[in-house]
Amino acid sequence: MHMRLVKTFRFEAAHSLPSFPDGHKCRRLHGHSFRFDVIVAGEVDPARGYLIDYGDIKSAVDPIVRQLDHYHLNDIEGLANPTSEMIAHWLWQRIKPVLPMLDEIIVYETCTSACHYRGQ
């Protein structure tokens, strides 16, 4: 039985988007209440009846969240241009090695705007 599980994480952070044109509101320093979903996928172990413990996902991702929460994202290595797309890729690069079942990252920059990333 193939399943996909979703665990949601949140962080508060400021950023500016230097690749946007002069005068664009996103080029100015501003903040968001970011949210992102970590989606894992695989076959459920019939003996256990579950794919992975949600606590194991949390343990893998919490240290990464701490690197982002209440920081200026542009100052974090690899996020000089912290668009939703770049944040999703940055998260993938750090989560996939510690959570091999990772299937997708969804970054919500606002309540109505999201970026889906499923690796290369």
Active site residues: 26, 70, 109
Distance, in Å, from the CA atom of 15 to the CA atom of 111, rounded to the nearest integer, reads 17
Write down how long the chain is.
120
Contact 67/34 with Cβ under 8 angstroms?
A: no
C-alpha dist (Å) from residue 20 to 90, 91, 95, 105? 19, 22, 28, 24
CA neighbor of 115 nearest in space, from 83, 79, 77: 83
Contact 114/108 with Cβ under 8 angstroms?
A: yes
Distance, in Å, from the CA atom of 2 to the CA atom of 66, rounded to the nearest integer, reads 31
